[in-house]
Amino acid sequence: MDIERFKQQHVEILDGIAGLRRYAHAGVQEHAHEIARLVSALSSTVKLHLAVEDRILYPSLQKGGDPHLAAMGHAYQEDMKGIASEYIAFSRRWSNVAALQAHAEAFRKEANAVLKTLYLRMCRENTEFYPAIEAA
């Protein structure tokens, strides 16, 4: 199975997280417009990635002949449900410039938690899940 598209989307997501981190460190209120724009852009990429995984990757693994990969895919899909809902709520809340300017510390706190979870998930997929798929 060719998973290059998924890997490229991971690069885009990780770049978006790094950009949000840079702006947050430089000042949430001062960079609220850039942060809101980046949150929206990252959200589009994350949603597209999740949709393609759900429509193509996971079903392919379930229909494939490898029970280990099917089980791994199912576990990753189930795990992502909670992460996805947290991220979507985060992106809705923080794609608004006024909210960022009014609640900079709340953004920092939530971004640290939600983006760290997303980052760690991408790293796990890159080091465990995708190599297992490519090896099959």
Task: Give pLDDT tens digits for 77-90.
Answer: 999 999 999 999 99
Identify whether the C-beta of residue 31 lies closer than 8 Å to the C-beta of residue 23: yes
pLDDT value of residue 117: 97
pLDDT value of residue 100: 98
Q: Which two tokens stand for residue 45?
A: 């990429």
Identify whether the C-beta of residue 117 lies closer than 8 Å to the C-beta of residue 1: no
Q: How confident is the model at residue 1 (pLDDT cuts 50, 70, 90)?
A: confident
What average pLDDT does this structure show over 36-49? 96
Contacts of 82 (CB under 8 A, 6+ apart): none
**Residue 14, SS3 per DSSP:** helix
CA distances from 27 to 30, 106, 125 (A): 5, 13, 31
Buried b or exposed e, range 99-114, using 16+ CB within 10 angstroms = bbbebbeebeebbeeb
What average pLDDT does this structure show over 58-68? 94
Q: Which two tokens stand for residue 101?
A: 């300017």
What average pLDDT does this structure show over 2-29? 96
- Percent of the chain whose pLDDT exceeds 70: 100
Identify whether the C-beta of residue 77 lies closer than 8 Å to the C-beta of residue 54: yes
What average pLDDT does this structure show over 95-122? 97
Contacts of 51 (CB under 8 A, 6+ apart): none
Q: How confident is the model at residue 31 (pLDDT cuts 50, 70, 90)?
A: very high
